[in-house]
């Protein structure tokens, strides 16, 4: 099991947001197929289990996203690009000044 987690960590390190988005879409599609195949008598139970799991996992993910976005916004406000030597600029950069 530990080896599986090491492989998963490496896979995520070598992935970008597009790969993770594809993975999430794949898992969503699998969940939809499984849900559609459930007998009607089990569908309410599946929703009763799935909805709390979704909320417990979604809320921390969104909290982290908001935190990262706020840090990025603060970094942009604190560290604006500053040019003190116009000799280092290319001709196309000087045109915007």
pLDDT score for 82: 62
Domain extent at residue 58: 43-97
50 and 78: one domain? yes
Residues 6 or more apart in contact with residue 97 via CB below 8 angstroms: 83, 86, 89
- What angle (nearest 5°) sits at the alpha carbon of residue 68, between those of residues 66 and 74? 100
Domain count along the chain:
2
15, 33: one domain: yes
Both 33 and 50 in one domain: the answer is no
Give the pLDDT of residue 95. 53
Same domain? 53 vs 85:
yes
Predicted pLDDT at 84? 60
Verify that 19 and 49 share a domain, yes or no.
Answer: no
Are 32 and 78 in a shared domain? no
Q: How far apart are CA 68 and CA 89, in angstroms?
A: 32
Q: What is the pLDDT of residues 3-56, one digit of tens each?
A: 999 999 999 999 999 999 999 999 999 999 999 999 999 999 999 999 999 999
Give per-residue pLDDT as tens, 57-97: 999 999 999 999 999 888 777 666 665 666 666 665 555 55
Residues 18 and 57 in one domain: no
Same domain as 31, residue 52: no
Say what the pLDDT of residue 73 is: 85
């Amino acid at each position: 099991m530990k080896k599986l987690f090491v492989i998963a960590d490496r896979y995520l390190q070598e992935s970008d947001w597009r790969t993770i988005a594809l993975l999430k879409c794949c898992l969503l599609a699998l969940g939809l197929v499984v849900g559609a195949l459930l007998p009607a008598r089990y569908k309410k139970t599946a929703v009763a289990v799935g909805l709390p799991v979704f909320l417990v996992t979604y809320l921390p993910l969104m909290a982290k996203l908001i935190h990262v976005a706020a840090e990025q916004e603060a970094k942009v406000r604190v560290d604006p690009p500053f040019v003190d030597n116009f000799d280092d600029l290319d001709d196309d950069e000087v045109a915007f000044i």
